[in-house]
Amino acid sequence: MSSWSGFSTGIEPKSVYHSSIPSLRCTVTAAALWIEQHWRRSTWLTALLAPLSLLFGAAAGARRALYRAGVLRPVRLPVPLIVVGNLTVGGTGKTPFVIWLAQRLRSQGWRPGIVSRGHGAAEAGPAPVAATSDPARFGDEPVLLARRTGCPVWIGRDRVSAAQALLAHHPECNVIISDDGLQHYRLGRQVEIAVVDGDKGFGNGWLLPAGPLRERPARLNEVDLVVVNGEARHPFAPGREHRMRLEGEQFYHLLNPRRVVPAGHFLGKRLHAVAGIGNPQRFFDRLRALGLCGISHAFPDHHRFRADELRFADAEAILMTEKDAIKCEAFADDRHWVLAVTAVVDPDPLPAILAKIGYRHGPQAA
């Protein structure tokens, strides 16, 4: 645990585990963070797992070759489908982009539906997700998507079945967005969008399990759009990149979302920041940019928080992301605040997306 000595120090991620957490849970959480650190560079673990990565790459390549050769055929839906995925394990910013895309499509008169696997969900699906659904049952990201977009959202480990079920229950939908699923080739698609974390990139460049890659970086040459989240150390797809940044300077109260305050409300207070997302450092950096300082706590992506993990006796306020907040509502108190962010994408990729999905399914066809 590290404390800020002043507002210029900023937030530094610190993995914090309390004695009240069962030892097995603590061990699993620590192991997940440890593996993520190893994936960021080549280590002895990389060499140990390299043979398995070669086998993984061969199997994945063979499966994709079967689809390209027509031996295996994707299932085509009666409406266009847009896949928003990534090449790596872990969060890259797909969910904020899916929210942005759904809102932009709706502003143009389209009626999108969203399908997701529902990472960590107890429900296998296909099943509908509402804004009030339990994130433990349906997944944190699908619940957030339902709240932020107002679109029909369905989850399912089989995304084809989830998409078909969504259309059966919502025939008004004329375009489907798949949150993740770039490697789910059975799901036929008109547009492929890859989201890349500008900071983490492709880690050590190795395929699973020696590295974080699901597919080789050359796959970016085949997708329709490449969206880079945040500042990149080097170009991933020169001349084809769309830059995404998350903007937001206001916080809403977790127990009373209508209560909104600016960042300045927390100046001089004893703060704790919690993040269980793909890149916790980005959240902590955002707080620092807003002039806030305190103690930070990094957890793995999709972490299921418990009340005893957030018992910070000295905290005057506990700051968190929207995705994490959804999982903390049941035990939140008056100190919990959520940073509301909105994605901004430049240059605007919507014209290219509309050109790919065509207009016969669009608003004028209604």
DSSP secondary structure, 15-51, as one string:
----TTS-HHHHHHHHHHHHHHHHHTS--HHHHHHHH
Token pair of 21 as six digits = 């957490």
Counting Cα atoms < 13 Å in the Cβ hemisphere of 52 gives 12
* Predicted local distance difference test score (pLDDT) of residue 298: 92
Strands of the chain (E only): list them: 81-85, 112-116, 127-129, 153-155, 175-179, 191-197, 225-229, 241-247, 250-253, 260-262, 271-275, 295-298, 317-320, 336-339, 342-346
- Indicate whether 26 pLDDT > 80: no
The annotated binding site for ATP is made up of 88-95
The tens digit of pLDDT for each residue in 98-138 reads: 999 999 999 999 999 999 998 888 898 899 999 999 999 99
| pLDDT for the residue numbered 125 | 82
Q: Would you state the pLDDT for residue 9?
A: 35
The tokens describing 254, both together, are 């977790």
What pLDDT does residue 99 have? 98
- The whole-number pLDDT of residue 18 equals 36
Give the domain 64-244+348-365 fold.
Rossmann fold (3.40.50)
* pLDDT greater than 70 at residue 16: no
Q: Is the pLDDT score of 187 beyond 80?
A: yes
Give the pLDDT confidence score for residue 164 in this predicted structure.
98
Q: Is the pLDDT of residue 20 over 50?
A: no
As a whole number of angstroms, the distance between CA 239 and CA 214 comes to: 24
What pLDDT is attached to residue 37?
81
Averaged pLDDT of the chain: 90
**Residue 22 pLDDT class (50, 70, 90 cuts):** very low
Higher pLDDT, 22 or 160: 160
Sign, CA torsion 35/40/45/50: positive
pLDDT at 173 over 90: yes
Average pLDDT over residues 274-284: 92
C-alpha span between 24 and 248 (Å, rounded): 37
| Binding residue numbers | 88-95
pLDDT (tens digit, 9 = 90+) per residue, 229-246?
998 888 899 989 999 999
Amino acid at residue number 231: E
d(CA 255, CA 238): 44
This prediction's pTM: 0.90
Q: Which pLDDT value is given to residue 91? A: 82
pLDDT in tens, 336-357: 999 999 999 999 999 999 999 9
- d(Cα 50, Cα 319) in Å, to the nearest integer? 39
